[in-house]
């Protein structure tokens, strides 16, 4: 068992003030530019994808951006991996945080909602994990309607749908197994009668049963309360380091980074529609600094990562604004029924687009989608001959 203590008494305030101040200024400049920009909404949506991929990278996993974009659009070209599923959870959590009031994530209700887990197929729902689902599979996870031609494979003739069919069969078998196990589990006695309502159990093959997440979360919340008098960026830095040191949740280190970004949003450093891409900034910091035994080194690394996140955001915003201007020039002389204006909005909102996504969003045929992409001058980003995706150069 680790010592459930994170001491703020010896916090190196004087060393951290300058980098935290720089981070606050840079993030505020970025946020102000996003709020007033015509590409602001597209920038925010894109940052969700890039930050989710960076989050998995920090945890030692690799998720390709195009795979996450296609998975989010239910246009997978292969069976989703476990890492891709986690990246999807990060993506959805970022969107959920943006949709809620600034202080919601750190409230009792918010933390409770974020800890509710999406169980793996065939697994009992754990008491404490992440997500907001109460079942093994929701409507959003329903496999594409293969019989009606849904899915990325229809972009190219002859593409096999066997993977999708097997995935649908596996999901059905997993749900059936989970239902059978739940029905055969002994009922819990309440008074003089038995009830079918049974507490969820953690799988000892997956969870350390001695890992008291409630106690660790309570300790972390205590650290956040103690740091409330510090500058906002310094609060976020301390909160993130405390989350990592206390190892609050066994299988979700990524939530701490999103909660740190929520602290910045609650303090007004970022606006209600913008969540700082902390993962993207930390990705540029060497791992030996991020996980250094010395706390001061770790805190400085997080602060510098926040500055870098803002700088990368400013560069990306300027790139998107310039790309939009260049694409809008191609609208000159077009008919009012042209699909190019809608295509520009789509490509600004997504890091990558596939023919299937274009066909669905614009209401055109899959064969017409590549022609629209070619008219706009987008770049093919995957290097594949099939299941291709395009993006802004």
Region 383-390: mean pLDDT is 78
State the first-to-last Cα distance of the chain, in angstroms, to the nearest integer. Answer: 50
Using CA atoms, how far apart are residues 306 and 310, in angstroms rounded to an integer?
6
Residue 257: what pLDDT? 95
Residue partners of 141: CB distance under 8 A and separation at least 6 = 171
Mean local confidence (pLDDT), 223-249: 92
pLDDT at 281 over 80: yes
Among 35-39, 54-58, 186-190, 193-197, whose mean pLDDT is lowest? 193-197
Q: Are 136 and 176 in contact (CB under 8 A)?
A: no
Q: Once rounded to an integer, what is the mean pLDDT over residues 200-214?
A: 64
Nearest partner of 20 among 185, 354, 267, judged by Cα: 267
Does the pLDDT value for residue 304 go beyond 70? yes
* Site of tokens 């994808």: 49
Q: What is the pLDDT of residue 125?
A: 33
Token digits for 329? Answer: 């020039």
Mean of pLDDT values over 70-81: 85
Residue with tokens 């910091």: 285
197 confidence band (pLDDT: 50, 70, 90): very low
Distances (CA, A) of 107 to 124, 228, 231, 239, 270: 27, 14, 20, 15, 18
254-266 and 82-99 helices cross at what angle (nearest 10)?
10
Please write the tens of the pLDDT for every residue from 356-366: 888 888 888 88
| Entry field: residues in the chain | 393
- Is pLDDT at 96 greater than 80 in this prediction? yes
Query: Residue written as tokens 């299937």?
Result: 356
State yes or no: pLDDT of 28 exceeds 70: yes
Pick the range with the lowest mean pLDDT from 24-28, 135-139, 250-254, 337-341: 135-139
Percent of the chain with pLDDT over 90: 41
Q: Output phi, psi for 46, to 5 deg.
A: -65, -40
40, two tokens: 């602001």
Q: At CB < 8 A and 24+ separation, what contacts does 262-267 make? A: 262/97, 262/102, 262/105, 262/106, 263/106, 263/224, 263/232, 263/235, 263/236, 263/239, 264/27, 264/232, 264/233, 264/236, 265/97, 265/102, 266/102, 266/103, 266/105, 266/106, 267/232, 267/235
Identify the weakest region by mean pLDDT among 142-151, 298-307, 377-386: 142-151
Q: What is the model's pLDDT at position 336?
A: 76
**Beta-bridge partner residues of 353:** 390
Q: What is the pLDDT of residue 186?
A: 55
When mean pLDDT is compared across 144-158, 296-310, 351-365, the lowest value belongs to 144-158
The domain spans of the chain are 13-184+197-318, 324-391
Q: Does pLDDT of 144 surpass 70?
A: no
Mean pLDDT across 169-192? 63
Per-residue pLDDT, averaged over 37-58, amounts to: 93
Return the percentage of the chain with pLDDT > 70, whole number.
77
- Of 166 and 4, which is predicted with more confidence? 166
Instruction: Answer whether 321's CB lies under 8 Å from 330's CB.
Output: no
Distance in angstroms (rounded) separating the CA atoms of residues 29 and 46: 18
For 269, residues 6+ apart whose C-beta sits below 8 A from its C-beta are 24, 27, 28, 31, 232, 233, 276
| Fold of the domain built from segment(s) 324-391 | Arc Repressor Mutant, subunit A (1.10.10)
């Amino acid at each position: 068992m680790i010592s459930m203590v994170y001491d703020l008494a010896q916090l190196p305030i004087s060393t951290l003030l300058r980098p935290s101040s720089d981070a606050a200024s840079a993030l505020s400049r970025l946020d102000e530019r996003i709020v007033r920009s015509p590409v602001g909404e597209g920038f925010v949506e894109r940052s969700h994808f890039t930050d989710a991929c960076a989050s998995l990278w920090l945890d030692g996993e690799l998720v390709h951006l195009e795979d996450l974009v296609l998975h989010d659009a239910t246009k997978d070209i292969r069976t989703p991996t476990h890492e891709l599923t986690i990246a999807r959870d990060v993506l959805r959590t970022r969107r959920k945080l943006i949709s809620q009031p600034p202080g919601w994530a750190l409230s009792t209700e918010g933390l409770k909602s974020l800890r509710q887990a999406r169980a793996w197929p065939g697994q009992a729902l754990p008491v404490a994990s992440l997500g907001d689902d109460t079942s093994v599979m929701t409507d959003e996870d329903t496999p594409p309607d293969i019989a009606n031609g849904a899915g990325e494979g229809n972009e190219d003739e002859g593409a096999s749908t066997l993977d999708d069919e097997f995935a649908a069969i596996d999901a059905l078998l997993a749900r059936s197994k989970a239902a059978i196990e739940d029905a055969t589990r002994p009922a819990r006695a309440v008074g003089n009668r038995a009830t079918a309502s049974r507490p969820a159990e953690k799988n000892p093959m997956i969870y350390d049963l001695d890992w008291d997440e409630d106690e660790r979360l309570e300790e972390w919340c205590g650290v956040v309360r103690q740091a409330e008098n510090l500058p906002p960026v310094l609060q976020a830095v301390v909160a993130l380091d405390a989350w990592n040191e206390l190892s609050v949740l066994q299988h979700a280190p990524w939530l701490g980074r999103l909660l740190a970004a929520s602290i910045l949003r609650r303090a007004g450093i970022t606006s209600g529609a913008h969540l700082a891409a902390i993962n993207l900034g930390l990705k540029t910091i060497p791992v030996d600094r991020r996980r250094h035994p010395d706390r001061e080194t770790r805190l400085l690394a997080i602060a510098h990562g926040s500055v870098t996140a803002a700088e990368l955001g400013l560069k990306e915003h300027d790139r998107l604004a310039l790309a939009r201007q260049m694409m809008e020039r191609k609208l000159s002389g077009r008919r009012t029924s042209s699909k190019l204006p809608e295509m520009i909005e789509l490509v600004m909102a997504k890091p990558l687009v596939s023919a299937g996504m274009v066909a669905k969003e614009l209401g055109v045929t899959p064969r017409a989608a590549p022609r629209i992409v070619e008219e706009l001058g987008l770049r093919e980003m995957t290097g594949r001959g099939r299941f291709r995706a395009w993006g802004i150069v």
